[in-house]
């Protein structure tokens, strides 16, 4: 019968020849193989300093977006919470007051916005559901903490830095992907 790939090997169960029974040639061959591996490219990287490039569709921790003037985009419509299969998102909406136009883009905003990162399955449905481009999944991943409670991320943890008051941090948060890609490329060459 023809196999699917034509790469199947027929097992030969012949008794070992004298050369094979000497065992030492085989050992030296194996040792030569392991020795050659000393000079081969390492399969691992120095993790915290170097990072592997992510795929463009990688889904990590969430970030709440702002517009160019630094106003929060989220209107607390609740679509993300509805779409969330893990029911990780809770929010409370509030009405924008006079004088808060520089803080919130629309008349309604999220007074409280929490994502339970222990429940979240990082499916990215919230990002797809959001009509206001307010929530994004980033490349940050594997958060570590001591308590379960600290895995419930509130607005301070989620909001992207303000581009007006903290332009530097905002740029790094936004340009992290580009910088990261350049970084891994540079590390690869050396």
Partner 1 sequence: MDLLLVDWSFILEKFFLIVIVVLASLGIALYTTFAERKVAAVIQDRRGPNRAGPFGLLQPFADGLKLIFKEDIIPLSSNKALFILGPGLAMVTALLTSAVIPWGGEMDFFGRKVSLQIADVNIGILYVFGVVSMGVYGIMIGGWASNNKFSLLAAIRGASQIISYELAMGLSLIALLMLTGSLSLKTIVEQQMSGAWGGFLGWNIIYQPLGFLIFIICAFAECNRTPFDLPEAENELNFGYHQEYSSMKLGFYLFAEYINMFISSVLMATLFFGGYDIPFVNEASLAESWGQNIVAFMGIGSLLVKTVIFIFIFMWVRWTIPRFRYDQLMDLGWKKLIPLALVNMLITGAVVLWLNK
Cα(43)–Cα(137) distance, integer angstroms: 28
Tell me how far apart the alpha carbons of residues 72 and 101 are, in angstroms, rounded to a whole number.
Answer: 10
Q: How far is the CB of 50 from partner 1 (least distance, A)?
A: 11
Q: What is the closest distance, in whole angstroms, from the C-beta atom of residue 110 to partner 1 in the complex?
A: 41
The least CB distance from residue 46 to partner 1, in Å, is 7
What's the residue count for the chain? 190
CB of 37 to partner 1, least distance (A): 5
Q: Does 17 participate in binding partner 1 (rule CB under 8 A)?
A: no
Residue 132 near residue 93 (C-beta atoms within 8 A): no
Among 12, 35, 99, 149, binds partner 1 (CB under 8 A): 35
User: Judged by CB, which is closer to partner 1: 32, or 182?
Assistant: 32
Question: Please, are residues 61 and 116 in contact by the beta-carbon 8 Å criterion?
Answer: no
Of these, 38, 57, 142, 144, which contacts partner 1 (CB under 8 A)? 38
**Rounded to the nearest whole angstrom, what is the least distance from the CB of residue 24 to partner 1 in the complex?**
8
Give whichever of 37 and 148 is closer to partner 1, judged by the CB atom. 37
The site for partner 1, by CB under 8 A, has a size of 15
Please spell the DSSP secondary structure of 23-59, one letter per residue: -HHHHHHHHHHHHHHHTSPPS---TTTS-PPPPTT--
Is 85 one of the binding residues for partner 1 (CB under 8 A)? no
Residues 39-58 that bind partner 1 (CB under 8 A): 40-44, 46
Strand-pairing partners, residue 94, are: 109
- Which residue number, 14 or 41, has a Cβ lying nearer to partner 1? 41
Pick from 8, 16, 31, 164 the residue near partner 1 by CB under 8 A: 31
User: Are the CB atoms for 77 and 92 separated by under 8 Å?
Assistant: no
The Cα 132–Cα 59 span in angstroms is 19
Cβ contact 75:134 at 8 Å: yes
Asked if 126 contacts 158 with a C-beta cutoff of 8 angstroms, the reply is no
Least Å from the CB of residue 48 to partner 1:
10
Residues that bind partner 1 (CB under 8 A): 24, 27, 30-31, 33-35, 37-38, 40-44, 46
């Amino acid at each position: 019968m023809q196999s699917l790939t034509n790469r199947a090997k027929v097992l030969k169960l012949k008794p070992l020849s004298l050369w094979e029974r000497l065992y030492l040639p085989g050992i030296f061959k194996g040792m030569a193989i392991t020795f050659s591996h000393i000079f081969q490219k390492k399969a691992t990287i120095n993790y915290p300093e170097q990072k592997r490039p992510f795929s463009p569709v990688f889904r990590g921790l969430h970030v709440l977006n702002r517009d160019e003037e630094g106003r929060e985009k989220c209107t607390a419509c609740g679509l993300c919470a509805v779409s969330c299969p893990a029911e990780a998102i809770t929010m409370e909406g509030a009405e924008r007051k006079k004088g808060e136009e520089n803080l919130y883009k629309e008349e309604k905003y999220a007074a409280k916005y929490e994502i339970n990162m222990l429940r979240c399955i990082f499916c990215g449905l919230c990002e797809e559901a959001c009509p206001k481009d307010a929530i994004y999944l980033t490349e940050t991943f594997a958060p570590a903490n001591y308590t379960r409670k600290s895995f419930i991320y509130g607005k301070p943890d989620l909001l992207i830095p303000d581009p007006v008051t903290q332009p530097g941090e905002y740029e790094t948060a936004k340009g992290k992907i580009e910088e990261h890609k350049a970084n891994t490329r540079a590390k690869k060459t050396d």
